[in-house]
């Protein structure tokens, strides 16, 4: 596209001043119209910056890990053969409360909850388990009539086929009821597995 | 009336070259760091207890042990990851040896056990046993926190 002159009239010949015959030119100063400066709108080229920002945004969205918030439940674990940090069995009270998790026949994702050593046996779910454990926990200030001291060991004993979700759920119920010593029972499979070097 | 001469002003520009260099450096740094962080914490289905009391821990010396489930059979373990090291579910003795070395290097090390919620208990209990054999008797079971 041809460039348009800033002032089209500037290139035209200047007409002779009036009052003089044609062909006679007076030596007068001629005012030429000055060309208009080409005023550009100030602009900031941020194209590359925007490209970069979008690339960064896309990368962060793709790499973002929409993970759920994680928390921890501190647990005592069973100690096997040759374990260095063995627990002294003498220090444990003789009558712990054992939470037994049994699988349901034909329903691998379900669980049956039994409680051994507690004044209650029927438990409908993990929320109920936590509520009953809390209701029976002795607290000198809040629940002096509770019959289970809070230092009574709670032992979780899941069967092998139980899902880890239920195990953590049972553990959480005991911790939620604010018992001080919650641990896992050691199973025969643990011992045999380690002995066989599995 | 005299016409004022307009000055052809230079076009204002902002040199963002240095900023772009810095941004690229930052991106590279964060990509590298983010990869390391996600490598130590594989994405698994976390157990979500009823009325969870799982809490954040402030412990400085922590080591994540993750038991991943097999996509073909989620009740079975596919891989066990200790920090950045990956093991087969049968390499329990190697896991014990690694943990024992880590504990000797950093006494007071805490282990966060991250197990997929679909796993069978016997798949996780063997890992717990391997951790115990390294001289660690207290672990942190990782679960969804109550805020979720």
Give residue-wise pLDDT tens across range B25-60: 777 777 776 656 667 788 888 888 888 888 887 767
ipTM of the complex: 0.76
Question: How far B105 CA sits from the closest chain A CA (Å)?
Answer: 16
Residues 40..59 of B with a Cβ closer than 8 Å to A: which?
Answer: 41, 43, 46-57
Task: Give the span between the Cα atoms of B108 and A181, in whole angstroms.
Answer: 20
Chain A partners of B63 at a C-beta cutoff of 8 Å? none
When CB atoms are compared, the residue of B7, B14, B147 closest to A44 is B14
List CB contacts (< 8 A) between B38 and chain A. 65
| CB neighbours of residue A158 within 10 Å | 26
pLDDT of A4-49, one tens digit each? 445 544 445 555 555 555 555 556 666 677 777 777 777 777 778 7
Residue contact B6–A37, C-beta within 8 A: yes
* Entry pTM: 0.66
Distance CA A184, CA A98 (A): 9
Contact A165 B47 (CB under 8 A): yes
Quote the CA–CA distance of B113 and A74 in Å, as a whole number.
10
Positive or negative CA dihedral for B129, B131, B134, B137?
Answer: negative
A37's tokens: 């400066």
Confidence at residue B118, expressed as pLDDT on a 0 to 100 scale: 92
Domain ranges of chain B: 17-148
**Measured distance CA(B111)–CA(A121) in Å, rounded:** 34
Give chain B's residues under pLDDT 70: 1-6, 33-38, 59, 147-148
Closest by CA position to B128, among listed B140, B144, B145: B140
A34 contact partners, CB below 8 Å, separation of at least 6: A7, B3, B5
Q: What is the pLDDT of residues A43-69, one digit of tens each?
A: 777 778 778 877 887 777 777 665 556
Closest CA to A190 of A76, A72, A77: A77
Taking CB atoms and an 8 Å limit, are B121 and A161 in contact across chains? Answer: yes
Tell me whether residues A73 and B114 touch, CB distance under 8 A: no
SS3 A179: coil
Option in A40, A126, A160 nearest B11 (CB): A40
Contact status, residue B124 vs residue B33, Cβ threshold 8 Å: no
> What is the Cα–Cα distance from A198 to A68, expressed in whole angstroms?
32
Is residue B115 within 8 angstroms of chain A, CB to CB? yes
* Closest in B137, B138, B145 to A71, CB measured: B145
Architecture of domain B17-148: 2-Layer Sandwich (3.30)
Element housing A192 (H / E): helix A188-195
* Chain A contact for B118 (CB, 8 A cutoff): yes
């Amino acid at each position: 596209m041809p460039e348009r002159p800033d002032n089209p009239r500037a290139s035209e010949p200047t007409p002779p001043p009036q009052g003089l015959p044609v062909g006679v030119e007076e030596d007068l100063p001629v005012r030429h119209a000055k060309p208009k400066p080409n005023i550009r709108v100030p602009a900031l080229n941020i194209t590359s910056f925007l490209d970069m920002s979008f690339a960064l945004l896309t990368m962060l969205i793709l790499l973002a890990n929409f993970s759920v918030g994680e928390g921890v439940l501190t647990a005592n674990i069973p100690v096997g053969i040759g374990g260095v940090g063995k627990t002294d069995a003498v220090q444990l009270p003789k009558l712990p409360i054992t939470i037994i998790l049994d699988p349901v026949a034909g329903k691998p994702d379900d669980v049956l909850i039994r409680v051994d050593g507690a004044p209650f046996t029927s438990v409908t779910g993990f929320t109920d388990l936590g509520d009953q454990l809390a209701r029976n926990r002795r607290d000198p200030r809040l629940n002096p009539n509770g019959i289970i001291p809070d230092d009574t060991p709670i032992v979780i004993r899941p069967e092998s086929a139980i899902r880890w979700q239920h195990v953590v759920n049972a553990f959480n119920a005991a911790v939620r009821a604010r018992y001080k010593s919650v641990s896992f029972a050691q199973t025969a499979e643990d011992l045999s597995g380690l002995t066989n070097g599995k | 009336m005299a016409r004022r001469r307009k000055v052809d002003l230079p076009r204002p520009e902002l040199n963002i070259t240095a900023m772009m260099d810095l941004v690229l450096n930052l991106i590279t740094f964060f990509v590298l760091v983010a990869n390391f962080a996600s490598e130590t914490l594989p994405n698994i289905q976390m157990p979500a207890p009823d009325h969870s009391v799982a809490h954040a821990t402030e412990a400085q010396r922590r080591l994540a042990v993750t038991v991943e489930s097999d996509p073909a059979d989620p009740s079975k373990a596919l891989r066990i990851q200790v920090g950045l090291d990956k093991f087969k579910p049968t390499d329990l003795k190697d896991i014990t040896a690694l943990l024992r070395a880590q504990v000797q290097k950093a006494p007071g090390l805490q282990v966060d056990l991250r197990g997929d919620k679909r796993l069978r208990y016997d798949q996780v209990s063997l890992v717990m046993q391997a951790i115990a054999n390294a001289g660690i008797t207290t672990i942190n079971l990782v679960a969804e926190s109550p805020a979720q």
